[in-house]
Amino acid sequence: MKLYKYKSNRIPKAILISAVCAGLFLGAVGSHPGKAYADAIWDHWQAADAAVAKGTPEAAVPHWKFLVDHYASIGDWENAALFCGRLDEYYDNAKAYDQAIRYYELENEYWLKAGKDWGAVDLQRAEQIRTTIELYMNVSDPEVLKARSAPTSGKLSKFEPEYGTYIGMYTERDPQMLNFYDRSEQFYGKKHALYLAYTQVGKPFPKQYVTRAKQAGAAMQIAWEPSNGLDAVTEAVVRDWAREAKAAGIPIFLRYASEMNGNWVVWHGDPQKYIQNFRMVHDIMAQEAPNVAMVWSPGDVPMYSMDAYYPGDDYVDWVGVSLYTEPYENGDPKQANMQATSPIERLDYLYKTYAARKPLMLSETAVSHRANLPQETFTDYALLNLQRLYEVMPAKYPRLKSITYFNVNLGMTESMNDYLLRDNDAVMKLYSKMIASPYYLTKVENGAKPSNLQGTVPLGGDRYFTKSTKLTPFVKIPDIYIGKLEYYLNGKLLETQTSPPFGLELQAGDVPDGSVIELAVYNRAGEKTASKSFPLNSGISVAVDGKDLAFEQPPVIRDGNTLTPLRAIFESMGAAVKWDQSTQTATATKGATTLAIQIGSSTALKNNVPVKLEMPAQLVNGYTMVPARFVGEAFGGTVNWDGASRTVQIRNSGKSSINQQAEPNVTTITGALTNTATQTKATFKSWLKVQYTKVVQLWNKLA
């Protein structure tokens, strides 16, 4: 558990200014011999200072830019960084945020080139003032979701889901739940996949925690801390512990010696010694306890020092991180105000560095809804960032596969924040609502995935959804709090939202082909601060006897006709399908009926009798595609069209679909996808067909 937060130890301005003064002439003369050039550098310095003294800092800007370019050109990175600092602060105060971001990022870059990590705070501020508008879409495409969540190697780590995210919680200091893990459903409406416990090296294996986790059908994350230093972690101690871990018989995520990059832990300070020690623990666990996955888990700050402690891919199963979202640095309003910082960007560096190789977990995280020191409540802040934590982060970072919430009111200790969900009704309600998604997995197992096979992808490009979707926005503005979001579909206002959770539910039938959705953002003063448009597409679904079919090649629309994959539908209806490459002909047989369909032909043969197709059969990406109605009716099925969900509904038994629309409004597949005149004609033809069928059925009964 993190005892206190790291604050970036940026060098005092006075010291930097002295360094610059001392280096002005050295830099100038060393690069460009001659007093004249040195005088020019000094003139820019004096002119900038004079402008600031007069209260006209805008007049100093060109001089600061000159000095930045000069010192960067000669490789004097410290002086270049300092003058970037003057520019980013000026632009920040002037609310010229794009320029401020540019120079904050440059300042960080130059400090790194100077061999110092003093620019981390500049990156943090750049993200605080960056306007961000992103949209994510829920889809039912297991192959896309699996590929997006996979490591570069394609091989999953121990206990890694194919896609989806484990939900976890630290409950020990929740006075109502304590370590009775089987109470999770009672309080949150859902089981959790794992629970967090802390123990120290040298203390007995935490059997009681494991027993209760086993009773709840859960796994454990155990933070094993070498509180007496790394030298006390001997092979004998580790081996004994490993044997007890194996006997536990449940999956264990072993978060050994975490937050090693922070000077608040005794195992900080010697990266090589730490790495050797971690590897030793890994090797013994691999020998003695195959049910243990090794988790290497730094703190999210200090950012640049964590990499030196990485033990190597062969010794790490998961990469974790401790990451907290709170309104004030260390819970103290006299320190940095952190309300403009979200958990999203705080994961970004770690994700970009390690996610291609290892699954990531938030091994310890929380959002504060109350700062205990100043006794301020931050419900709006908590709701905004809790949604970012549980809805946006798994969407933006698909390799984030476990989140453990640190459910504690710290009172006046440590960070002095209240993270306890039950202490705020609105926060508790939102948490329960978000984890209800099947994307949050409740059982730790290799290759796990959501029960509904759904997940989230960024909106854009040629991606599409079927039946229905939820759009989840990630919006961040320099004003911090969002006053209003407006959703426009093809220029028409669909919905306005003024408080989190933000998001929009849509049916496929609401989204015509080639649609555009726009998100407009307003601050609390009612000012429109930003907007962004995204392409939005819905696809055609096919259901046979109420069961949705999954296609490698989805249905497509050609000249107003819905073309569907022949093989998948015929096989779902019990027909056998063969393909003759030489004649480009697909043949399907069911009972006494044989169908032959040749690519490019507008006529199929049913028991050698020609049948006219609405459109010739086509090859699309190697798949035989034919008009949906023909495929559905070829073996006696009944085809209906659900316009709301854009679903072709086939009843193999010949019975009408339970989702069929009222008779006068039934449309054919073709009619639903063409212009209004064609729709009217097709609707009437379809209605007549239904009436004729009913008359025949009634006549047969009477006979």
Residues taking part in catalysis: 259, 364
Residue 299 per-residue DSSP state: B
Burial 511-535 (b: 16+ CB within 10 A, else e): beeeeebbbbbbbeeeeebbebebe
Contact assessment for residue 370 and residue 417, using Cβ atoms and an 8 Å cutoff: yes
In the chain, what is the straight-line distance between the N-terminal and C-terminal CA atoms, in Å? 81
Q: What angle do CA 381, 387, 390 make, to 5 degrees?
A: 135
Contact assessment for residue 588 and residue 519, using Cβ atoms and an 8 Å cutoff: no
Backbone angles phi, psi at 101, to 5 degrees: -60, -40
Two structure tokens written together for 462 = 């040629």
DSSP string, 113-176: HTT--TTHHHHHHHHHT--EEEEEEEE--HHHHHHHHS-TTSPPPTT--SS-EEEEEE-TT-TT
Contact assessment for residue 563 and residue 620, using Cβ atoms and an 8 Å cutoff: yes
Residue among 421, 414, 258 nearest 330 (CA) = 414
Contact assessment for residue 576 and residue 654, using Cβ atoms and an 8 Å cutoff: no
Q: Enumerate residues 6+ apart whose C-beta is below 8 A from 431.
A: 188, 386, 390, 405, 421
Q: Enumerate residues 6+ apart whose C-beta is below 8 A from 260.
A: 267, 268, 274, 298, 306, 309
Contacts of 45-50 spanning 24+ positions with Cβ under 8 A: 48/86
3-state secondary structure of 489: strand
How many Cβ atoms sit within 10 Å of the Cβ of residue 567?
Answer: 18
- Which stretches within 616-668 are classed as H helix? 628-633
**What is d(CA 325, CA 219) in angstroms, rounded to the nearest whole number?**
25
Tokens 């999770």 appear where? 184
How far lies 305's CA from each of 226, 274, 373, 623, in Å?
A: 20, 13, 30, 52
How far lies 394's CA from each of 150, 254, 343, 400, 489, in Å?
A: 13, 22, 12, 6, 25
E-strand spans in 339-498? 360-367, 370-371, 376-377, 400-406, 417-418, 440-441, 455-458, 465-466, 468-476, 482-489, 492-497
* DSSP percent split of the chain into helix, strand, coil, nearest 5: 40, 25, 35
How far lies 23's CA from each of 19, 31, 519, 649, 673, in Å?
A: 6, 12, 50, 77, 72
Residue among 225, 234, 325, 321 nearest 276 (CA) = 234
3-state secondary structure of 476: strand
Residue among 144, 45, 221 nearest 550 (CA) = 144
Residue among 352, 362, 295 nearest 325 (CA) = 362
Backbone angles phi, psi at 431, to 5 degrees: -60, -50
Cα dihedral value 316, 274, 349, 264, nearest 10: 130
**What is d(CA 441, CA 435) in angstroms, rounded to the nearest whole number?**
9
